[in-house]
């Protein structure tokens, strides 16, 4: 226990521990030998009501390392299940521990989770640990996603443990402090439905409603409304991923948060050239989680969620199935609507010409795919009318499309400036380019954090379009496919 808990600003609640015992096991983190703070998110700390200066103290570092528990926290490991690449398994926090829920100054409740904090009852054969590179990678990408305006878990701190961890070779052990509006997953509901009673399932659903969707608490058939809300959030999230070119890489049902936040940054990456088939993860040999497949997979996961809560929807199973099916149909509608609105904004289209607009969008994407054009930079080039001397811009198809697009922009009543402004705030100048992230992580692993900090700085203002972003916006020079790895 540490003494200055209150002074730092910790204000714990432990509502998850109020759920039936089935859903978690009380578990302290396993202490580590020699913790050192390597990165702290000052802005996030402040927004959580924590004093960033005091978080650098030895007492606080020992909290991030799992060596001491702040007053009021009740550490636990959550139980859940999940479809991993289509196969259903019992899982649970095998290397993460929920320290507690911090009540923020605005009264929001957020999970404080240590990732890499030792074995739990759900560890199976794993060592319960994490290593430095991947924890920093999650830190960088999650914070970049946040700055890009995409719902996501956040990263508060990374500490090294002073212990080495065995992977393919010996690596530096590390622990990430992850912040999430909750860690309730589709897989948590699958777990309840497979191993719990209907009452336990109901307790989880009601808790989720209270925590994430209080506005539906008093509605008729609130559990059907829960399904609709989750559909809405997921469809919105995936549309945002597609618009920005984000590939999650491991969309198993245990990695899909009910809150609609992006969670579990494992083998994820951003596309450079536009290609629907893009897969980065070394283990995704079939392309199940390819860029272009993400909307279908999200819907597949939603169906698993709906199946889990069927007994809550209606006592008559046939009626429950019908209700669920009707709700699920909305996934495509919401996804398409959000995607279309986003794509139009990326092209500065404000008014509505229905099908014509969609054709215009599909056409430019097809041309980009044909010429292997860089997804992010093409939109930036269109925004600032700086057509580079590339195969894409020199092609007859593009010139033809460009004229149609310009005509379309001129047909709307809004000014050209309004249109360009819309493009500017919807087309990021910088994304976490894979080669830039790798370079920063490599230097950090060798003890130099300056490149990582500079990268984080640039990524924190992706819509800034300032001149210092140039180097970060260059696609990789190598044409070799980028590979990411799980088991981190
Ligand atoms: P992930 O691929 O990170 O979503 O993890 C899938 C499951 O494996 C989760 O239940 C994790 O808690 C567990 N897991 C991953 N790495 C480890 C590890 N090193 N030790 C124990 N469990 C792990
Ligand atoms: Mg996971």
127 located within any domain = yes
Closest by CA to 264, choosing from 400, 82, 104, 424, is 82
| pLDDT 10s digits, 90-106 | 999 999 999 999 999 99
158 located within any domain = yes
Final residue belonging to a domain, choices 149, 183, 217: 183
Q: Residue 42: which H helix or E strand, with range? A: helix 42-47
The arithmetic mean of pLDDT across residues 370-377, rounded, is 96
408 located within any domain = yes
| pLDDT 10s digits, 402-449 | 999 999 999 999 999 999 999 999 999 999 999 999 999 999 999 999
Q: Indicate if the pLDDT at residue 239 is higher than 80.
A: yes
**Residue 222 · residue 312 · CB < 8 Å:** no
Q: Is the CB of 123 under 6 A from ligand 1?
A: yes
Question: Residue 268 and residue 486: Cα distance in Å, rounded?
Answer: 9
Q: Which residue has the higher pLDDT, 365 or 470?
A: 365
Closest by CA to 29, choosing from 82, 73, 59, is 73
* φ and ψ of 177, to 5 deg: -95, 115
CA-closest residue to ligand 1 atom 12: 94
Structure tokens at 132: 């430095």
Structure tokens at 336: 């398409």
Q: Is the CB of 374 under 6 A from ligand 1?
A: no
Residue 157: CB atoms within 10 Å: 26
Question: Residue 330 and residue 75: Cα distance in Å, rounded?
Answer: 38
CA of 94 to the centre of ligand 1 (A): 5
Q: Indicate if the pLDDT at residue 487 is higher than 90.
A: no
Question: Residue 3 and residue 363: Cα distance in Å, rounded?
Answer: 62
Kindly tell me the sign of the dihedral angle through the C-alpha atoms of 369, 371, 374, 377: negative
Q: Is the CB of 307 under 6 A from ligand 1?
A: no
State the residue for tokens 């890009």.
148
219 located within any domain = no
436 located within any domain = no
pLDDT at 479: 72
366 located within any domain = yes
Confidence of residue 2 (pLDDT cuts 50, 70, 90): low
E strands, 215-316, where? Answer: 246-247, 269-270
Active site residues: 254
pLDDT at 3: 63
Q: Indicate if the pLDDT at residue 1 is higher than 80.
A: no
**Residue 110 · residue 98 · CB < 8 Å:** no
| pLDDT 10s digits, 42-89 | 999 999 999 999 999 999 999 999 999 999 999 999 999 999 999 999
Return the ligand 1 atom nearest residue 488 CA: 16
Question: For all residues of the chain together, what is the average pLDDT?
Answer: 96
Structure tokens at 358: 């969609």
**Burial zone of 211 (CB within 10 Å; 0-12 exposed, 13-18 middle, 19+ buried):** middle
CA of 470 to the centre of ligand 1 (A): 37
Strands 24-26, 96-103: pairing is unpaired
Ligand that lies nearest to the alpha carbon of residue 121, given by its number in the listed order: 1
Structure tokens at 172: 């530096």
Q: Is the CB of 397 under 6 A from ligand 1?
A: no
Ligand that lies nearest to the alpha carbon of residue 283, given by its number in the listed order: 1
CA of 485 to the centre of ligand 1 (A): 13
State the residue for tokens 């570092």.
61
Q: Indicate if the pLDDT at residue 40 is higher than 60.
A: yes
pTM of the full structure: 0.98
Of 94, 153, 173, 487, the one to substitute when testing ligand 1's pocket (max ligand atoms within 8 A of C-beta) is 94
CA of 478 to the centre of ligand 2 (A): 31
Ligand that lies nearest to the alpha carbon of residue 263, given by its number in the listed order: 2
Closest by CA to 150, choosing from 293, 259, 227, is 259
418 located within any domain = yes
Final residue belonging to a domain, choices 373, 405, 424: 424
pLDDT at 484: 84
| pLDDT 10s digits, 261-288 | 999 999 999 999 999 999 999 999 999 9
Q: Is the CB of 266 under 6 A from ligand 1?
A: yes
Q: Residues near 105 by Cβ (< 8 Å), separated by ≥ 6? A: 47, 49
Helices (H), 65-166: 132-148
Closest by CA to 297, choosing from 281, 311, 312, 317, is 281
Confidence of residue 481 (pLDDT cuts 50, 70, 90): confident
The arithmetic mean of pLDDT across residues 343-362, rounded, is 98
Q: Is the CB of 486 under 6 A from ligand 1?
A: yes
Q: What is residue 267's DSSP assignment? A: S
pLDDT above 90 coverage of the chain, percent: 94
Domain count, the chain: 2
**Burial zone of 215 (CB within 10 Å; 0-12 exposed, 13-18 middle, 19+ buried):** exposed
Cα–Cα separations (whole angstroms), residue 369 to 277, 284, 345, 390, 391: 10, 22, 20, 14, 12
Confidence of residue 144 (pLDDT cuts 50, 70, 90): very high
Question: Residue 334 and residue 337: Cα distance in Å, rounded?
Answer: 5
Q: Is the CB of 264 under 6 A from ligand 1?
A: yes
The arithmetic mean of pLDDT across residues 18-47, rounded, is 98
The arithmetic mean of pLDDT across residues 228-251, rounded, is 98
Closest by CA to 133, choosing from 114, 154, 150, 116, is 116
Of 24, 80, 120, 126, the one to substitute when testing ligand 1's pocket (max ligand atoms within 8 A of C-beta) is 126
The arithmetic mean of pLDDT across residues 149-178, rounded, is 98
CA-closest residue to ligand 1 atom 23: 94
**Burial zone of 449 (CB within 10 Å; 0-12 exposed, 13-18 middle, 19+ buried):** middle
Q: Which residue has the higher pLDDT, 341 or 477?
A: 341
149 lies in which domain range? 5-183
Return the ligand 1 atom nearest residue 80 CA: 10
DSSP secondary structure letters along 355-411: HHHHHHHHHHHHHHHHTT-BHHHHHHHHHTT---SSHHHHSHHHHHHHHHHHHHHHH
| pLDDT 10s digits, 167-217 | 999 999 999 999 999 999 999 999 999 999 999 999 999 999 999 999 999
State the residue for tokens 């479809």.
83
Of 82, 83, 95, 191, the one to substitute when testing ligand 1's pocket (max ligand atoms within 8 A of C-beta) is 95
pLDDT above 70 coverage of the chain, percent: 99
Question: Residue 118 and residue 137: Cα distance in Å, rounded?
Answer: 20
Q: Residues near 372 by Cβ (< 8 Å), separated by ≥ 6? A: 273, 274, 275, 391
Strands 76-78, 24-26: pairing is antiparallel
Final residue belonging to a domain, choices 424, 454, 475: 424
Ligand that lies nearest to the alpha carbon of residue 153, given by its number in the listed order: 2
Q: Is the CB of 91 under 6 A from ligand 1?
A: yes
343 located within any domain = no
CA of 362 to the centre of ligand 2 (A): 34
Residue 318 CA to its chain's centroid (Å):
35
CA-closest residue to ligand 1 atom 22: 94
pLDDT at 44: 98
**Residue 289 · residue 486 · CB < 8 Å:** no
Q: Is the CB of 461 under 6 A from ligand 1?
A: no
**Residue 475 · residue 433 · CB < 8 Å:** yes
CA of 396 to the centre of ligand 2 (A): 46
Helix and strand numbers (H, E) in the chain are 16, 13
Q: Is the CB of 82 under 6 A from ligand 1?
A: no
Q: Residues near 69 by Cβ (< 8 Å), separated by ≥ 6? A: 1, 2, 28, 29, 63, 75, 99
**Residue 7 · residue 57 · CB < 8 Å:** no
């Amino acid at each position: 226990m540490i003494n200055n808990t209150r002074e730092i600003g910790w204000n714990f609640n432990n509502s998850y521990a109020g759920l039936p015992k089935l859903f978690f096991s009380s578990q302290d983190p396993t202490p580590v030998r020699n913790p050192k703070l390597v990165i702290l998110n000052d802005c996030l700390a402040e927004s959580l009501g924590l004093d960033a200066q005091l978080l650098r103290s030895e007492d606080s570092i020992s909290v991030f390392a799992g060596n001491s528990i702040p007053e009021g926290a009740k550490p636990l490991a959550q139980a859940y299940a999940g479809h991993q690449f289509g196969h259903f398994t019992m899982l649970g926090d095998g290397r993460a521990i929920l320290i507690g829920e911090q009540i923020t100054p605005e009264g929001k409740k957020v999970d404080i989770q240590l990732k890499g904090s030792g074995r739990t009852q759900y560890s199976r054969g794993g060592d319960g640990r994490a290593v430095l590179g991947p924890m920093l990678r999650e830190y960088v990408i999650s914070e970049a996603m946040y700055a890009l305006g995409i719902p996501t878990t956040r990263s508060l701190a990374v500490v090294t443990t002073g212990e080495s961890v065995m992977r393919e070779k010996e690596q530096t052990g590390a622990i990430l402090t992850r912040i999430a509006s909750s860690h309730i997953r589709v897989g948590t509901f699958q777990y309840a439905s497979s191993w719990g009673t209907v009452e336990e399932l109901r307790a989880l659903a009601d808790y989720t409603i209270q925590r994430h969707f209080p506005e539906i608490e008093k509605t008729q058939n609130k559990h059907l409304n829960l399904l609709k809300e989750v559909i809405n959030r997921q469809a919105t999230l995936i549309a945002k991923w597609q618009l920005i070119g984000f590939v999650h890489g491991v969309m198993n049902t245990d990695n899909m948060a009910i809150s609609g936040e992006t969670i579990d940054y494992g083998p994820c990456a951003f596309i450079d050239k536009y290609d629907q088939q893009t897969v980065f993860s070394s283990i995704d040999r079939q392309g199940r989680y390819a860029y272009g497949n993400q909307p279908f997979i999200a819907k597949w996961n939603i169906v698993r969620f709906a199946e889990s809560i069927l007994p809550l929807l209606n006592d008559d199973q046939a009626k429950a199935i019908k209700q669920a099916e009707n709700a699920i149909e909305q996934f495509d509608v919401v996804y398409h609507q959000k995607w279309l609105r986003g794509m139009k904004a990326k092209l500065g289209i404000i008014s509505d010409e229905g099908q014509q607009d969609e054709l215009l969008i599909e056409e430019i994407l097809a041309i980009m795919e044909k010429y292997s054009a860089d997804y992010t930079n093409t939109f930036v080039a269109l925004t600032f009318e700086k057509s580079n001397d590339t195969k894409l811009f020199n092609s007859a198809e593009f010139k033809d499309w460009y004229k149609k697009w310009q005509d379309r922009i001129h047909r709307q009543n809004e000014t050209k400036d309004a249109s360009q402004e819309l493009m500017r705030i919807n087309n990021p100048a910088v994304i976490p380019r894979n080669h830039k992230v790798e370079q920063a992580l490599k230097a950090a692993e060798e003890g130099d954090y300056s490149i990582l900090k500079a990268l984080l700085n640039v990524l924190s203002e992706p819509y800034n379009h300032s001149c210092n972003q140039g180097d970060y916006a260059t696609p990789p020079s190598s044409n070799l496919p980028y590979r990411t790895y799980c088991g981190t």
